[in-house]
Amino acid sequence: MTQLHCKHLDITIGKTSVCRDLNVQMNAGESWVVLGKNGSGKTTLIHTLAGLRQADTGEIIIQDQLLPNYSRQLLAQKIGVLFQNDEESFPSTVLESTLIGRHPYLNWMQWESKNDVILAEYSLEQMGLLPLKKRDIHTLSGGERRRTRIACLLTQNPDIALLDEPNNHLDIQHQIETLTILKQQFKNKLLFMSAHDVNLANRFCTHALLLLGNGEYICGEIKDVVTTENLEQLYGININKFSQGNQTLFFPA
């Protein structure tokens, strides 16, 4: 069973304390959002959970094994990361960029198989990009490149997806479509993302982690954590709440 467990985790970047004594267990079937002001450390937290930087103290455990004990290849099969900004350095087609998602499953002498190509093309089809599969990645718009990176993540199909602002560069239609696809793809796995849109987070996520500053945090089920009182503490402004049917929306007062 997919599980990511943070035990007594302390993370700092510069003079900013991202979290202090963070204890949280995230399980398969859950979708988490991390919310916080600009500079609160959301990206740093994601990079730490992915094993790309070390925490100051504490442990990160994935399926009962310490994160540092995984080989880089096995960790890449377990965890997929979507970076906030991820520019392509080398010329490649959209399909070639998407096929990078299969590299954790290949040894250094292997080429992608026909089945790998089928998986990549299906992911591109999900993201509405299959007609562009032969296009140079550098000729795409910012939103199309973002959707290509998400198609790469879908092709990788890891147990845990760590997404840094997945809606970057996406219009409102593609924001909803992308989050719907991600929620479906990872419904039996673990989804963890940073976001700025509280209302979309409230709509698509089951759990939330609020980075309050000075290492303080609140975490738990989203219905208990994303409240007017907590959001006002988080952002330092007055918040209005509007409910209609099963939908709850939050707005600056």
| pLDDT tens string 129-176 | 999 999 999 999 999 999 999 999 999 999 999 999 999 999 999 999
Model confidence at 241: pLDDT above 90: yes
Task: List Cα–Cα distances, 12 to 9, 18, 146, in angstroms.
Answer: 10, 5, 28
For position 149, what pLDDT does the model report? 96
Model confidence at 66: pLDDT above 90: yes
Mean pLDDT lowest for which of 10-14, 20-24, 87-91, 169-173? 87-91
Of 224, 252, 218, 213, nearest in space to 37 by CA: 213
Model confidence at 89: pLDDT above 70: no
Task: List Cα–Cα distances, 251 to 87, 103, 248, in angstroms.
Answer: 33, 43, 10
Identify residue 48 by its one-letter amino acid code: T
88 pLDDT band, cuts 50/70/90, is low
Q: Provide the whole-model pTM.
A: 0.95
Q: What is the CATH number of the domain that holds 195?
A: 3.40.50.300
113 pLDDT band, cuts 50/70/90, is very high
Q: How many other CB atoms sit within 10 Å of the CB of residue 34?
A: 28
Phi, psi at residue 180, to the nearest 5°?
A: -65, -45
Q: Which residue has the tokens 């007017």?
A: 228
DSSP sequence for 100-140: GGGGGGS-TT----HHHHHHHHHHHHHTT-GGGTTSBGGGS
Residues sharing a CB contact under 8 Å with residue 214, sequence separation 6 or more, in sequence order: 17, 20
108 pLDDT band, cuts 50/70/90, is confident
Identify residue 244 by its one-letter amino acid code: Q
For position 208, what pLDDT does the model report? 98
**Overall size of the chain counted in residues:** 253
User: 24's torsion region: left (phi>0), alpha (psi -120 to 50) or beta?
Assistant: beta
* Number of compact structural domains in the chain: 1
Averaged confidence pLDDT in the chain: 95
The per-residue pLDDT for range 193-235, each reduced to its tens digit, is 999 999 999 999 999 999 999 999 999 999 999 999 999 999 9
For position 110, what pLDDT does the model report? 84
For position 45, what pLDDT does the model report? 98
Which range of residues forms the domain containing residue 41? 3-252
1 pLDDT band, cuts 50/70/90, is low
